[in-house]
């Protein structure tokens, strides 16, 4: 009995400790909440299918959102929504098995088609019910796009990047959906819709200042639509948010006091049924006061652009000095003798430093370039049989609208090999992140690794530099095996001959270019995986990458397949899906 409990524990605990599990649990609960909501007695319930579609659009595991949406729709009596969720998910899975990865436009098309297919079953009793079905299909597409952007905004906020206006609006829409879904839930005569509308308004006031009044109107309107609030509630909420925003410079307690004081005055003098009560305002203020400091600071940093004029002037001065420093570095580089090999190398590297300084001076703050593509990344690795540490290293960097994926295989196995591969990955990532040009960065990595090695050690280096604005990619090969692009059921091989890094001072990387598209999957692997899969490599790629729900699942499936065939070397796999 003890062994059975221990076995179950060893299976469950690692699953719960995964970094993705809190997001998956949140998706399940949020989908259940939103799917349970319907507008009045009309049966208009677009949010359940929108949740499932949003997760599909985002390119992550959809089954948590599907489970939550179906359960929430059934509990709320929204049987048409539950059927639409299940049918849409089944259609996406079958279509993907037939065609490979789906484009976002194709997913939205399937969302509409599956709901239209259910019209004769649920909505053809009267002309009015048919219009409700058509409205639900149209609204679910709009809501799915908003929820997809809201999830992207949340990830950006976690990484402390400034949100775009679209992402901020999507978070407001998500808050409005949550308020709308609280319809009829009022324990102890405290309206959950009013409570959350007040809480979200406080959060908006802390992040956006007076501009947050627009968000509070949206939250208040959602409360009015539920039938549990009046126009007096909407006006009270907007006034309280405005007062709180004026006191946000006083910190969290200034926001709380600025919101609660007018709420109490409104409740005492003009309060009535379906208005914001003192209890609802007080609980909202309490929840906001209990927010972790890190989360409150994250919201403010993500939403607030630099507005202070003094800060702007300081930024302009810093940029000017960076440009001056770049000019000095450039002139110093020109003093070296171009006919001397060592001095010529130093001159080229100083030119790289000059370019990095100029790029830094021109960069907006905080950097948030427009993206057309998103990338979902999965990685898996294991050491050679009998070793405790792998000699491979992998890394990912993001800078200036480019995503850098790196994989390096140190010669041999174990700790010494890992040191070489880790140094190659870290140095290339650092140089490109600060603005070095690719050619200068690669030459610098090769020379420095050649200088630092104490014995006959070297490493392969495999990298993909993806422009998230255009989809163009450059593949860098220093003695690395081929990379593979999976597109529409076909495998495209990217390969070029080049010496490993750190072998010769004149070694040059082979660089290949390719244009990536939505729905592509990119696979990088070390020699251990390449040699183990052997003649079955293409079949394994098509089987495991296309069949996997996420990039992580695909990487782990390829790793297991390679490990089953051979454990004679370290094995590392990196999978990236373009969405």
Q: With the CA atoms of 418, 419, 425 and 428 taken in that order, what torsion angle do they form, in degrees rounded to the nearest 10? A: -160
- The continuous run of DSSP H or E covering 486 comes out as strand 483-487
Q: What is the pLDDT of residue 469?
A: 86
Q: What is the pLDDT of residue 5?
A: 62
Q: What is the pLDDT of residue 211?
A: 79
Q: Is the pLDDT of residue 312 over 60?
A: no
Task: Please check whether residue 261 lies inside any domain of the structure.
Answer: no
Segment 266-275 shows an average pLDDT of 73
Q: Are residues 551 and 564 in contact, defined by beta-carbon separation less than 8 angstroms?
A: no
* Residue 363 neighbours by CB distance under 10 Å: 15
Task: Please check whether residue 191 lies inside any domain of the structure.
Answer: no
Nearest-CA neighbor of 181 among 24, 25, 50, 23? Answer: 50
Share of the chain above pLDDT 90, in %: 11
Q: Is the pLDDT of residue 3 over 70?
A: no
Three-state SS letters, 421-460: HHHHHHHHHHHHHCCCCHHHHHHHHHHHHHHHCCCCCCEE
Q: Are residues 20 and 14 in contact, defined by beta-carbon separation less than 8 angstroms?
A: no
Task: Please check whether residue 523 lies inside any domain of the structure.
Answer: yes
Segment 59-65 shows an average pLDDT of 82
pLDDT bin (cut points 50, 70, 90) of residue 60 is confident
The answer on 542 and 457 residing in a single domain is yes
Which of 159, 186, 221 is a domain's end point? 159
Among 50-54, 187-191, 404-408, 521-525, name the one with the lowest average pLDDT: 187-191
In whole angstroms, what is the distance from residue 165 CA to residue 377 CA? 26
Strands 521-525 and 483-487: antiparallel
Which of 134, 159, 184 is a domain's end point? 159
Q: What is the pLDDT of residue 465?
A: 92
Q: What is the pLDDT of residue 453?
A: 59
Segments forming the whole domain that contains residue 104: 18-159
User: Total structural domains in the chain?
Assistant: 3
Task: Please check whether residue 61 lies inside any domain of the structure.
Answer: yes
The answer on 406 and 333 residing in a single domain is no
Task: Please check whether residue 290 lies inside any domain of the structure.
Answer: no
The helix/strand/coil state of 93 is: helix
Q: With the CA atoms of 427, 430, 434 and 439 taken in that order, what torsion angle do they form, in degrees rounded to the nearest 10? A: 40
The answer on 131 and 42 residing in a single domain is yes
Q: Is the pLDDT of residue 229 over 70?
A: no
563 or 249, greater pLDDT: 563
Q: What is the pLDDT of residue 466?
A: 92
The answer on 487 and 347 residing in a single domain is no
Task: Please check whether residue 413 lies inside any domain of the structure.
Answer: yes
The answer on 346 and 472 residing in a single domain is no
Q: Is the pLDDT of residue 343 over 70?
A: no
Q: What is the pLDDT of residue 178?
A: 87
The answer on 406 and 546 residing in a single domain is yes
Which of 159, 179, 213 is a domain's end point? 159
Segment 418-447 shows an average pLDDT of 81
Segment 176-200 shows an average pLDDT of 83
109-167 residue pLDDT tens: 888 888 888 888 888 778 888 888 888 888 888 889 888 888 888 777 766 666 777 88
In whole angstroms, what is the distance from residue 182 CA to residue 194 CA? 9
Angle (nearest 5°) at CA 420 between 415 and 423: 115
What's 567's domain CATH number? 3.60.40.10
Q: Is the pLDDT of residue 449 over 60?
A: yes
List of residues 6+ apart from 548 with CB closer than 8 A: 554, 557
Considering the chain, what is the average pLDDT of its residues? 81
505-553 residue pLDDT tens: 777 888 899 999 988 999 999 988 998 988 889 999 988 888 888 899 9
- Using a 10 angstrom Cβ sphere, with 0-12 exposed, 13-18 middle and 19 or more buried, the burial of residue 55 is buried
Nearest-CA neighbor of 136 among 89, 78, 54, 72? Answer: 78
List of residues 6+ apart from 18 with CB closer than 8 A: none
The answer on 127 and 77 residing in a single domain is yes
Q: What is the pLDDT of residue 474?
A: 92
pLDDT bin (cut points 50, 70, 90) of residue 206 is confident
The answer on 535 and 403 residing in a single domain is yes
Q: Is 502 left (phi over 0), alpha (psi -120 to 50) or beta?
A: left
Q: Is the pLDDT of residue 274 over 70?
A: no
The answer on 101 and 78 residing in a single domain is yes
- Using a 10 angstrom Cβ sphere, with 0-12 exposed, 13-18 middle and 19 or more buried, the burial of residue 197 is buried
In whole angstroms, what is the distance from residue 330 CA to residue 347 CA? 9
Among 61-70, 411-420, 445-454, name the one with the lowest average pLDDT: 445-454
Q: What is the pLDDT of residue 71?
A: 92
Q: What is the pLDDT of residue 341?
A: 66
DSSP 250-284: G-HHHHHHHHHHHHHHHHHHT--TTS--HHHHHHH
415 or 403, greater pLDDT: 403
The answer on 419 and 555 residing in a single domain is yes
Q: What is the pLDDT of residue 572?
A: 92
Task: Please check whether residue 201 lies inside any domain of the structure.
Answer: no
The answer on 535 and 508 residing in a single domain is yes
484 or 459, greater pLDDT: 484
Task: Please check whether residue 202 lies inside any domain of the structure.
Answer: no
Q: Is the pLDDT of residue 8 over 70?
A: no
pLDDT bin (cut points 50, 70, 90) of residue 365 is very low
Angle (nearest 5°) at CA 236 between 230 and 240: 150
The helix/strand/coil state of 338 is: coil
The answer on 495 and 410 residing in a single domain is yes
Question: In the chain, how long is the greatest CA-to-CA distance?
Answer: 87
Share of the chain above pLDDT 70, in %: 80
């Amino acid at each position: 009995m003890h062994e059975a409990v221990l076995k179950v524990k060893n299976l469950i605990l690692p699953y719960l400790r995964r970094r993705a599990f809190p997001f998956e649990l949140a998706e399940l609960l949020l989908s259940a909440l939103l799917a349970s909501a319907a507008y009045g007695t009309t049966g208009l319930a677009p949010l359940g299918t929108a949740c499932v579609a949003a997760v599909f659009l985002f390119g992550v595991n959809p089954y948590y959102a599907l489970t939550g949406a179906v359960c929430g729709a059934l509990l709320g009596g929204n049987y048409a929504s539950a059927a639409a969720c299940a049918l849409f998910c089944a259609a996406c899975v079958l279509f993907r098995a037939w065609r490979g990865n789906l484009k976002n436009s194709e997913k939205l098309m399937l969302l509409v088609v599956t709901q239209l297919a259910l019209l004769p079953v649920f909505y053809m009793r009267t002309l009015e019910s048919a219009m409700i079905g058509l409205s639900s299909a149209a609204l679910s597409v709009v809501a799915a796009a908003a929820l997809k952007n809201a999830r992207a905004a949340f990830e950006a906020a976690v990484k402390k990047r400034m949100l775009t206006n679209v992402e901020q609006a999507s978070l407001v829409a998500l808050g409005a959906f949550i308020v709308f879904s609280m319809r009829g839930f009022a324990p102890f005569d405290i309206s959950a819709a009013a409570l959350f509308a007040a809480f979200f308004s406080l959060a908006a006031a802390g992040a956006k200042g007076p501009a947050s009044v627009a968000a509070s109107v949206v939250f208040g309107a959602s409360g009015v639509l539920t039938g549990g609030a009046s126009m007096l509630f909407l006006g009270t909420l907007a006034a309280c948010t405005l007062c709180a925003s004026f006191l946000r410079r006083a910190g969290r307690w200034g926001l709380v006091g600025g919101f609660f004081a007018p709420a109490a005055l409104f409740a005492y003098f003009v309060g009535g049924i379906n208005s914001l009560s003192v209890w609802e305002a007080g609980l909202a203020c309490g929840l906001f006061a209990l927010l972790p400091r890190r989360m409150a600071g994250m919201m403010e940093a993500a939403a607030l652009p630099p507005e202070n004029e003094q800060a702007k002037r300081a930024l302009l001065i810093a940029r000017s000095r960076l440009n001056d420093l770049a000019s000095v570095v450039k002139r110093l580089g020109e003093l070296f003798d171009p006919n001397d090999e060592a001095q010529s190398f130093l001159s080229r590297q100083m030119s790289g430093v000059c370019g990095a300084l100029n790029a830094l001076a021109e960069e907006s703050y905080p950097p948030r370039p427009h993206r057309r593509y998103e990338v979902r990344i999965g990685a898996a690795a294991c050491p050679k049989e009998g070793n405790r540490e792998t000699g491979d290293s992998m890394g990912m960097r993001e800078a200036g609208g480019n995503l850098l994926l790196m994989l390096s295989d140190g010669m041999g196995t174990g700790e010494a090999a890992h040191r070489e591969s880790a140094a190659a990955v870290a140095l290339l990532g650092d140089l490109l992140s600060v603005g070095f040009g690719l050619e200068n960065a690669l030459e610098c990595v090769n020379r420095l690794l050649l200088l630092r090695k104490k014995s006959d050690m070297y490493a392969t280096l495999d990298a993909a530099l993806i422009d998230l604005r255009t989809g163009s990619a450059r593949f860098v090969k220093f003695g690395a095996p081929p990379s593979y692009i999976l597109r529409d059921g076909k495998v495209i091989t990217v390969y070029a001959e080049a010496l490993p890094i750190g072998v010769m001072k004149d070694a040059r990387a082979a660089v290949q270019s390719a244009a990536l598209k939505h729905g592509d999957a990119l696979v990088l692997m070390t020699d251990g995986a390449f040699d183990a899969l052997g003649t079955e490599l293409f079949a394994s790629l098509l089987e495991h990458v296309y069949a996997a729900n996420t990039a992580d699942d695909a990487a782990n499936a390829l790793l297991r397949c390679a490990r089953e065939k051979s454990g004679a070397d370290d094995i590392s796999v990196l999978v990236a899906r373009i969405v």
